[in-house]
């Protein structure tokens, strides 16, 4: 498994990664008739790809009291933008992704995608779960194909697309493996291919690389950036790792500890490709980290005081 990852590293030196201007072109041309939708949609630039207005979410705890998880969140994401959301654990950032994905309705407020309100799950927004949620009863190829199958895409086209996306994440030779036979990093890439194969406009990623070792994570950062550049998707990426956020994002949004509020936004204008170890990345991260640390301290203090207070788990029940 690991040798495969290494080979890939050799294939794709950092300097070979496409510059940002390549965005929205590339792979589709190379692979011919695969292209179904072009990333640039005929939506006026004034309408954000994703717009959250005054989003609130509250839970009822077992003891019956209401717990405010998200508090009047306002957020706009431009088409093709790479946005990272950071915050201390328990700030509701995963829940925010579930709301955008339509898996759960907000208590109040409105979520707009291309100016239209979100009514439920839709394949224009695909969420990559923290636990991935790959289907263990299906092969890698069948997992990638799943969304297309649900849409009713013909078998021949599904197979072609599946090959295309598996090639995109460098897993072509693992098409017939089952997911438990793959390493953690490879499973991440299957999840990415499965999400991309449904041709979503917006890719929602929930701490996808948190459980990986540093080397694998760095590689996947490179790959994700390359795929983002090639496909022109809008990405909303949740992480608690500030340097990871600065490494990847056009803009970093910081959420406060419970209730989750939008604390500050940090545009990241650093040239790409970046490395997590770049001095500028570290410096930019430090600014955000100062703000974040405040929140973390607050969360720790509250946890120590409260002792047994129920935690809000990401994606938990309402």
Residues that bind another protein (CB under 8 A): 101, 103, 121-123, 126-127, 129, 131, 133-137, 146-147, 149-151, 178-181, 194, 198, 315
- Kindly state the smallest distance separating residue 107's Cβ from another protein, in Å: 19
Phi then psi for residue 24, to 5 deg, are 75, 10
Query: Other C-beta atoms within 10 Å of 130: how many?
Result: 18
Q: How far is the CB of 197 from another protein (least distance, A)?
A: 9
Cβ closer to another protein: 97 or 288? 97
The answer to whether 221 and 209 are in contact (CB under 8 A) is: yes
Query: CB of residue 52 vs another protein: minimum separation in angstroms?
Result: 18
User: Cα separation of 234 and 193, whole Å?
Assistant: 15
Beta bridge partners of 19: none
**Which residue has tokens 């239209």?**
116
Instruction: Report the residue number, 26 or 121, with the smaller CB distance to another protein.
Output: 121
Nearest to 128 by CA among 169, 83, 98, 162: 98
Instruction: Give the nearest distance from C-beta 184 to another protein in angstroms.
Output: 14
Q: List phi, psi (to 5°) of 237.
A: -125, 120
- Strands of the sheet containing 50-60, edge to edge, are 66-77, 50-60, 108-113, 116-117
Q: Minimum CB separation from another protein for residue 153, in Å?
A: 11
Give 143 or 216: the residue with its C-beta nearer to another protein.
Answer: 143
Task: Please tell me the distance from the alpha carbon of residue 55 to that of residue 92, in angstroms, as a whole number.
Answer: 12
- In the bound state with another protein, the residue whose beta carbon lies nearer, of 285 and 312, is 312
- Answer positive or negative: Cα dihedral of 140, 145, 146, 147: positive
Pick between residue 128 and residue 292 the one whose CB is nearest to another protein: 128
Residue 132 DSSP class = B
Q: How far is the CB of 301 from another protein (least distance, A)?
A: 31
Nearer Cβ to another protein (179/256)? 179
């Amino acid at each position: 498994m690991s040798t495969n990852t290494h080979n890939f590293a050799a294939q794709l030196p950092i300097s070979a990664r496409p510059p940002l201007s390549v965005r929205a072109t590339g792979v589709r041309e190379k692979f011919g008739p695969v292209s179904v939708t072009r990333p640039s949609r005929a939506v006026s630039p004034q309408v954000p790809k994703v717009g959250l207005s005054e989003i609130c979410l509250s839970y009822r705890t077992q003891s019956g009291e209401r717990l405010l998880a998200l508090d009047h969140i306002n957020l706009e994401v431009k088409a093709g933008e790479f946005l990272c959301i950071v915050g201390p654990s328990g700030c509701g950032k995963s829940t925010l992704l579930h709301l955008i994905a339509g898996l759960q309705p907000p208590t109040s407020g409105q979520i707009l995608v291309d100016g239209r309100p979100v009514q439920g799950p839709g394949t224009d927004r695909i969420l990559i779960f923290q636990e991935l949620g790959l289907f263990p009863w299906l092969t890698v190829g069948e997992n990638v194909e799943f969304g297309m199958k649900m849409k009713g895409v013909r078998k021949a086209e599904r197979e072609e697309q599946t090959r295309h996306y598996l090639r995109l994440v460098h897993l072509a030779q693992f098409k017939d493996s089952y997911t438990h036979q793959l390493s953690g990093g490879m499973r991440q890439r299957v999840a990415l291919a499965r999400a991309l194969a449904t041709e979503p406009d917006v890719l929602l990623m929930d701490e996808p690389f948190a459980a990986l070792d540093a080397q694998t994570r760095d590689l996947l950062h490179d790959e994700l950036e390359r795929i983002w550049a090639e496909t022109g998707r809008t990405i909303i990426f949740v992480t608690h790792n500030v340097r990871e956020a600065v490494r990847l994002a056009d803009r970093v949004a910081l959420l406060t500890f419970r209730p989750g509020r939008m604390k500050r936004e940090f545009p990241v204008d650093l040239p790409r490709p970046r490395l997590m170890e770049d001095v500028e990345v570290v410096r930019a991260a430090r600014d955000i980290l100062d703000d974040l640390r405040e929140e973390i301290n607050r969360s720790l203090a509250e946890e120590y005081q409260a002792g047994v207070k129920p935690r809000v788990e990401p994606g938990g029940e309402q």
